Amino acid sequence: MPTTTPSDFSTKPNVTTPQGTFIGKQTSKYPQILEEFLGIPYALPPTGDRRFRPPVPVNVSNETFDVTKPAPRCISGPDNEPQSEDCLHLNIYRPKETNSSHEKLPVLIHVHGGAFNFGYADDREIQSLVGWSKQPLIAITFEYRVGALGFLPSKLMAEEGALNLGLKDQKLLFEWVQKYVSSFGGDPDNVTVMGPSAGAHSIGHHIMYNDGSPLPFAKAIIESGGPTARAVYAYDNPLHETQFSEFLKKLDIPSTPRSEILPKLRSLPVKSIKAASEQIFEYYNPSLRWPFQPCVDGPGPNSIIPIPPIQAFLNNTYHHIPIITGYNTNEGSLFVPKAPNNGESFIDFFYVLLPTLSTEDLSLLDSLYPNPETNPNSPYAFNNTAFGVGNQYRRLDKAYGDFAYISPVRQTAYFASGEHPYEQSSSNSPSNATQQKQAPVYLYQYAVNGSILHGATHGDQSPFPVFSSDVTHVSPTIKEIAGLMHAYWTSFIISPTGNPNAIPGRHPTRLIWSEYKSEKDKRHKIVFGLGNNEIARGKEKEKGVVVQLVEDRVDDGERDACAFWWERVRLWEG
């Protein structure tokens, strides 16, 4: 990070903190002129002997730093932008002339997604969310370690206290915000965290972990993910040990004495670590048994996920905070194989993905998602000739989407709203979930079709709440949907109680978004863009319904499918 001189103070925004004085820049791209502070370190470089160790806070300083250019991204997958192992930096976006002595502004922290193997701080146009907001707020984006450098579950890494390093990076960032955001004019008591996909899973894990200390944030927006999403195995699960061994083999150190493995890993060029990570990921990607993931790390002072997330829910030991959570209609379509063309391939896919499912489980799964090959009334029939996909594609899309994202999102909503998600689906329901006062929860479904093949797939919602120019130019209807999502999201962020209806924003007369409550009060969700095909079909304008509030009702088949996944969460946790 380059140093600068006091002569720069007169023309550029500057902020003094115990970590030093930071000189930023302005941008006039949005209705509000913004001040940007880019590439501020929140931890010492995790390089050399600090590689594969928990992050270390930055020292205090009296120096002055130029933070007008983005810092390199963390080491991840293929990327044309600069990457570096020295990457634990943050970016701050605030309205022009925000003053630390004035009323403190609400703060948003964005946690990027990317399967814990990819992604970077500014993968969404967070500046747009700030710049288009009618009421002022501050937003922060940041890098955290991903891939093998951030998540390398194994017995060896457990012994070294080096599990879930990417989550520990996030935790240190949250602590940095609590210490220093007031210097930038932010309110440390009104911090919202927001993230999609792996960012959502991450936020869920932080909410689940309760050691008696207060959370370093007050509210959460959890998009297409949650703590029970996908699989969260114990650090010593055979899959993790196998992937760890294969990783070492790629680096030509499989036979190294155990005591020498980490010293060798720390001595290797980072490009070798990156190459090995990418090769292991590519090998496992077809099965979606992704390597380098968060793991249950067990009890202890360095723990982040001490118990399986489902157990934290059942024990009612998680933090109760206001939450927005939701899912996209076709969460699985981006990931599942397109070629399968018979019922056996459907079963084979889940047999490989989830080997703990029994033969009886797989048979039940087969019946819960009717096979279009044999059942003419199957909802998963699809005219596949134009796309060259097999007749199992829509079926896999739905089943995998339910497993990985939709059922976990609903699970978060049920628990966080004070409901027991097994109560109507199993006579063998656990009974140790205690009742206590719940914080408000708001559930959404994003339904704008991004393409004819993929529908409203995983990640499609990302540009909408930030009111990104990537979508606002498409059509007046798409712009309205983006504007509404922006209004709800910013109201939730700004409101101290996490109310998406409290702040008028750009749509002051918008539909009231009801809380997701108990069955007797009727559980509601808000649906954005149902039937809209303007992005997918181009000139064939199908506007659909911009926004509607509906009961989150499911038919018997979908209820049974949700119950199937909920009742088996323990099979892929811990």
Q: What's the CA dihedral at 243, 245, 251, 252 to 10 degrees?
A: -150
Instruction: Please tell me the distance from the alpha carbon of residue 465 to that of residue 429, in angstroms, as a whole number.
Output: 37
Question: pTM of the prediction?
Answer: 0.95
pLDDT tens-digit series, residues 78-131: 777 899 999 999 999 999 988 766 799 999 999 999 999 999 999 999 999 999
Give, rounded to a whole angstrom, the gap between the first and last alpha carbons of the chain.
Answer: 41
Question: What's the token pair of residue 209?
Answer: 């972990």
Instruction: Please tell me the distance from the alpha carbon of residue 402 to that of residue 381, in angstroms, as a whole number.
Output: 17
Strands 323-328 and 186-196: unpaired
Asked if 75 and 270 count as a contact pair (C-beta separation under 8 A), the reply is yes
pLDDT tens-digit series, residues 437-446: 679 999 999 9
Q: What is the DSSP letter of 307?
A: S
Give the residue numbers marked as catalytic: 197
pLDDT at 380: 94
Question: What's the token pair of residue 434?
Answer: 């205690």
- Which domains, and CATH codes, for the chain? 6-235+296-309 (3.40.50.1820), 322-572 (3.40.50.1820)
Q: In what order do the strands lie in the sheet with 34-41?
A: 25-27, 34-41, 89-95, 138-142, 105-110, 186-196, 219-223, 323-328, 441-446, 524-530, 545-551
Percent pLDDT > 70 in the chain is 92
Instruction: Please tell me the distance from the alpha carbon of residue 262 to that of residue 273, in angstroms, as a whole number.
Output: 12
pLDDT at 555: 62
CA 303-307-309 angle, 5° bins: 110
Instruction: Please tell me the distance from the alpha carbon of residue 222 to that of residue 493, in angstroms, as a whole number.
Output: 13
pLDDT tens-digit series, residues 437-483: 679 999 999 999 999 999 999 999 999 999 999 999 999 999 999 99
pLDDT at 6: 54
Q: At what angle do helices 198-208 and 165-180 cross, to 10 degrees?
A: 70
For the cut 60, the answer to whether the pLDDT of residue 574 exceeds it is yes
- Residue 3 pairs in a beta bridge with 65
DSSP 351-370: HHH-TTS-HHHHHHHHHHS-
